[in-house]
Amino acid sequence: MSETLSPAPSRERRTYSIGELARRFEVTPRTIRFYEQEGLLDPERRGQTRVYHEKDRVRLSLTLRGKRLGFSLAEIREVIQLYDHAPDGDERQLRRMLDILAEKRRGLERQLEDIRALQHELDDVEDRCRESLDALLARHSRDA
């Protein structure tokens, strides 16, 4: 449950290869490297190969969640940076961050509304669909 992006001193010591992460999240290694290039991930290096920790796994998870909601990688990077730099900064920065947070919340609220609206429209389609099906089956049994 309580996953965090901030280091969480040293709970889990597991590491992952890029291939492992890719299989886990059903993306390609290319995608993961691309996210790193875009500043969404920052894995350790051993020699020249990448080593991913819990922090990276959580970040990737957050990234893919954002993608499913239609966020751009730039927007997701913003959220991640909010996450990482929440505690520091002066008063003006902190207040600005609270503003940004409020705005993000408004965006999510709107998405909630959009989803509800779409659900209702699916209801409509399903209703009409079932009616047609019922009429069809009624004719079937009548003609039998």
Q: Left (φ > 0), alpha (ψ -120 to 50) or beta: where does 28 sit?
A: beta
Q: Minimum CB separation from a second copy for residue 114, in Å?
A: 5
Q: Minimum CB separation from DNA for residue 32, in Å?
A: 8
Q: Is the Cβ of residue 50 or residue 59 nearer to a second copy in the bound state? A: 59
Q: How far is CA 42 from the centre of its chain?
A: 18
49 interface partner picked from a second copy, DNA, none, CB below 5 to 8 A per type = DNA
Query: Residues near 16 by Cβ (< 8 Å), separated by ≥ 6?
Result: 24, 51, 52, 53, 56, 57
- How many C-beta atoms lie closer than 10 Å to residue 6's C-beta? 12
25 interface partner picked from DNA, a second copy, none, CB below 5 to 8 A per type = none
Q: Minimum CB separation from DNA for residue 107, in Å?
A: 15
17 interface partner picked from DNA, a second copy, none, CB below 5 to 8 A per type = DNA
Q: Which two structure tokens, joined as six digits, stand for 62?
A: 């957050």
**Beta pairing partners, 49:** 46
Residues in the site for a second copy, rule: CB under 8 A?
4, 62, 65-71, 79, 82-83, 86-91, 94-95, 97-98, 101, 104-105, 108, 110-112, 114-115, 117-119, 121-122, 124-126, 128-133, 136-137
Residues in the site for DNA, rule: CB under 7 A?
17-20, 27-31, 33-35, 38, 47-50, 67, 72-74
Length of the chain: 144
Identity (one letter) of the amino acid at 62?
A: L
Q: Minimum CB separation from DNA for residue 76, in Å?
A: 8
User: What phi and psi values does residue 16 have, to the nearest 5 degrees?
Assistant: -135, 145
